[in-house]
């Protein structure tokens, strides 16, 4: 039965109200803006979703957004009985479980296509994890690692890890495994021991760290992080090369500079042109820490569940954003670097960015509160010198009464020099980041000052930003990249006084 134009217009209006809710829900879930505009072709409703992200790595963003959009559209389609009948009441009911269902679809590839009974088994497994997450051992929250192997191939991959696999004499459900022997809540610490479960979510064994090896969480998380980051680097290299070519065209009229830029381009190809392609682990890795669950899958992001909320943690997108902005910042200054030093400069920046990102992530996981500000020279037009010193950079950024000559700055220097991120110590950075005020880093990733006060004009307000610290961080991003880490674990990344990403 065909519906009338009036009925379709009413349905369209109701659907648009629904999509306003979905846009807000998915943007918070994803960490960057997502739009779901509606169009009508004939009697059919068409959803044309898109991501809003201003950094020039479109393929990476579109790939992430596309996966989310497909899941949302799948849920919407289930609410439409046929092309001409829109069940708006059922549609609104999907809002309450949408982030859960999308997350489970990312974790378990079979979830969306499964029947209700099978889906319930996946949901029950996650509910058991939530229950374990809330437990304590001698008043301390538990830290647990769980490896989910859906087939023999993924179990074989666990066997190939540099760990010892101890099989259990009898299989037990995850809940019984911890309930019947409470010391396991402390023993399975995700450092020396982690649990292995099969496709039925039964515990089949425990992996044990070998003497002298890194922690299990470090070994396994690095497998996922290296795979995702290497994949992201291919997108970064493409757009960095495009930015490089634009600068080359600008200098091409100068024969001498043109020749030099060709040498730089060759070095660039050597550094980033042969990025090794890695395989993503075939198993799924669950970690429980500070009553929060992180799930590592074959997606470019980590899936997180904390305090009743599902979110996507885009740590690799964070690294890609830093790399894109920092590497393209100093392209016009290439002529001040010797060609034979350029490769070391690029690798140093790349390694420093990765180390800085790891520190930001660690502070977030430990519920710390910090502000980092990376000052980019091309955002400081008031600088009158080509290679400014750190005093000039700080003053140009508004830190006129800075801490450069204070004793606590001298304490964190190395032989009188500012520590570079690539050479930094994790515990030192966590310590200085806990000091009130901003940690200030220059475009070369030298830590130049700590405890700097960001002075925000009295009338400066951002309608979608709350809290004095977050407002200060956003205002400071007019001079570069600002990173605000909140005690609840959220990471805000600002650039040009706009929020790029919330993790």
User: Who contacts 337 (Cβ-Cβ below 8 Å, separation ≥6)?
Assistant: 345
pLDDT along the chain (503 residues), means of 10: 60 73 84 70 59 68 77 70 56 79 90 86 87 75 88 90 89 85 83 90 90 86 86 76 71 61 72 76 89 88 89 86 81 63 76 88 84 74 51 76 75 77 83 84 84 81 78 86 88 87 85
Query: Cβ–Cβ contacts within 10 Å for residue 66, how many?
Result: 13
Nearest Cα residue to 286 out of 363, 203, 350: 203
Encode 432-448: b = buried (16+ Cβ within 10 Å), e = exposed.
Answer: bbeeebbbbbbbbbbbb
Q: What is the pLDDT of residue 196?
A: 92
pLDDT confidence of residue 303: 93
pLDDT digits (tens, 9 = 90+) for 1-39: 455 666 666 766 777 777 788 888 888 888 887 776 665
Each residue's pLDDT tens digit, 481-497: 999 988 888 889 998 88
Asked: is 340-503 a CATH 3.30.300.30 domain? The reply is: no
Question: pTM score, two decimals?
Answer: 0.83
Between helix 58-78 and helix 98-107 the angle, nearest 10°, is 120
- pLDDT at position 83, please? 43
pLDDT value at residue 296: 94
Domain boundaries, the chain: 5-96, 340-503
The tokens for 468 are 């004095």
Average pLDDT, the chain: 79
């Amino acid at each position: 039965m065909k519906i009338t134009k009036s009925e379709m217009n009413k349905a369209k209006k109701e659907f648009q109200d629904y999509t306003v809710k979905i846009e807000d829900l998915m943007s918070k879930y994803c960490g960057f803006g997502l739009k779901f505009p509606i169009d009508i072709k004939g009697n059919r409703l068409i959803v044309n979703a898109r991501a809003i992200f201003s950094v020039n790595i479109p393929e990476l963003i579109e790939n992430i957004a596309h996966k989310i959009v497909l899941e949302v559209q799948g849920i919407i389609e289930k609410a439409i009985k046929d092309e001409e009948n829109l069940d708006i009441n059922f549609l609104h009911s999907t809002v309450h479980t949408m982030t859960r269902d999308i997350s489970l679809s990312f974790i378990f590839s079979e979830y969306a296509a499964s029947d209700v009974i099978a889906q319930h088994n996946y949901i029950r497994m996650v509910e058991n994890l939530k229950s374990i997450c809330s437990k304590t051992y001698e008043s301390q929250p538990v830290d647990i690692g769980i490896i989910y192997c859906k087939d023999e191939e993924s179990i074989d991959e666990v066997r190939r890890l540099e760990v010892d696999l101890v099989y259990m004499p009898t299989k037990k459900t995850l809940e019984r495994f911890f309930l019947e022997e409470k010391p396991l809540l402390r023993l399975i610490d995700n450092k020396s021991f982690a649990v292995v479960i099969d496709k039925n979510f039964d515990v089949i064994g425990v992996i044990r760290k070998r003497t002298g090896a890194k922690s299990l969480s470090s070994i396994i998380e690095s497998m996922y992080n290296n795979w995702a980051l290497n994949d992201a680097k291919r997108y970064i290299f493409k757009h960095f090369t495009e930015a490089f070519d634009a600068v080359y065209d600008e200098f091409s009229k100068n024969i001498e500079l043109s020749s030099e830029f060709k040498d730089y381009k060759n070095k660039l190809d050597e550094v980033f042109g042969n990025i090794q392609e890695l395989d993503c682990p075939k198993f799924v890795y669950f970690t429980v820490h500070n009553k929060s669950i992180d799930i590592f899958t074959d997606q470019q992001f980590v899936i997180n569940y904390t305090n009743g909320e599902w979110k996507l943690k885009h740590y690799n997108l964070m690294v890609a954003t830093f790399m894109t902005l920092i590497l393209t910042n100093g392209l016009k200054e290439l002529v001040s670097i010797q060609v034979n030093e350029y490769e070391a400069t690029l690798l140093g920046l790349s390694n420093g960015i990765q180390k800085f990102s790891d520190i930001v992530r660690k502070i977030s996981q430990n519920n710390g509160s910090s502000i980092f500000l990376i000052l980019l020279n091309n955002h400081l037009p008031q600088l009158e010198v080509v290679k400014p010193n750190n005093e000039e950079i700080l003053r140009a950024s508004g830190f006129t009464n800075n801490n450069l000559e204070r004793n606590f700055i001298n304490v964190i220097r190395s032989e009188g020099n500012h520590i570079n991120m690539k050479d930094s110590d994790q515990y030192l950075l966590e310590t200085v980041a806990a000091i009130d005020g901003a940690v200030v880093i220059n475009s070369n990733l030298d830590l130049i000052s700590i405890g700097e006060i960001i002075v925000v004009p009295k009338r400066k307000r951002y309608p979608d930003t709350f809290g004095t610290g977050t407002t200060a961080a956003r205002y400071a991003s007019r001079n570069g990249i600002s990173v605000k880490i909140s005690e609840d674990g959220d990471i805000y990344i600002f650039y040009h006084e706009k929020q790029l990403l919330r993790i």
